Structure 1
């Protein structure tokens, strides 16, 4: 009986010493990392003659100064070009322009229909 009481007090004492779970902020590391200024320049383009698809992008960055442009051939035949730069607190500033005139084929049919048709059955 004395052994059971002794064991009870040992377990109770260990449980009382356990600290309750609490969130603590992570300890700061003494390591310091040097900040390097971003500096890059890239350019790529795609021109697919079979589909008349053309698009590309170029951008240059030196520290906080970022400038670039991208272009895409639209389905209506126009070339859309977006020139942009990042202006400090104003953020991303873009200028959009179009070259060419929109063309639509005479036999252009919309995939959308205004009348309801039940779906056709598909047999495996």
Structure 2
């Protein structure tokens, strides 16, 4: 009887020692601290002692052109600006033989306006149709057995 009682006490003690691994505590939501204090006061910005920047009246003119017959790169552009009014034009030769010309203006009152012109007639080379040759019937005898036409390569050898 004593040995049975001592065995029971040993089993209860072992279960009590191991019970901590069965219970995983600490599974609760995380509290966040919200401060009720007012945010720290920042000093007002100090006034600038620099004089305002005087911007000059913008005025420019430029133009450029490319005429490379070897690569077919033929284009030009010009633009002029007087204050907030910009006027310009550019043109380029397109692959179909036409010339695309864009004349544009931009100002504060009307915004950006562009007029696109296509000069010339598009020339497209004739379409050449290539037909696949007719297939000849296979000279083989087909499969000698009924089954799948798919096969896998054996691990250590060739197809048989």
**What range is the shorter-chain TM-score in?**
0.5 to 0.7
**Is residue 62 of structure 1 aligned with residue 62 of structure 2?**
no
Q: TM-score, normalised by structure 1?
A: 0.62
SS in 1 for 2:109: helix
Moved over 6 A (4+): none
Larger radius of gyration: 2
Change (3 A) 1:31 1:107: same
Change (3 A) 1:26 1:39: farther
User: Once structures 1 and 2 are overlaid, which stretch shifts more, 90-99 or 24-33?
Assistant: 24-33
- Residues 87 and 93 of structure 1 are in contact (CA less than 8 Å); yes or no, is this contact kept in structure 2? no
Which residue matches 2:93? 73
Q: For 1:79-118, list aligned pairs within 5 A.
A: 79-107=99-127
CA apart distance, 1:104 = 1.1
Q: TM-score, normalised by structure 2?
A: 0.49
Higher strand share: 1
CA apart distance, 1:25 = 5.3
* Cα separation, 2, equivalents of 1:23 and 1:47: 62
Give unmatched runs, 5+ long, in structure 2. Answer: 1-39, 130-160
SS in 2 for 1:89: coil
Give unmatched runs, 5+ long, in structure 1. Answer: 1-19, 110-124
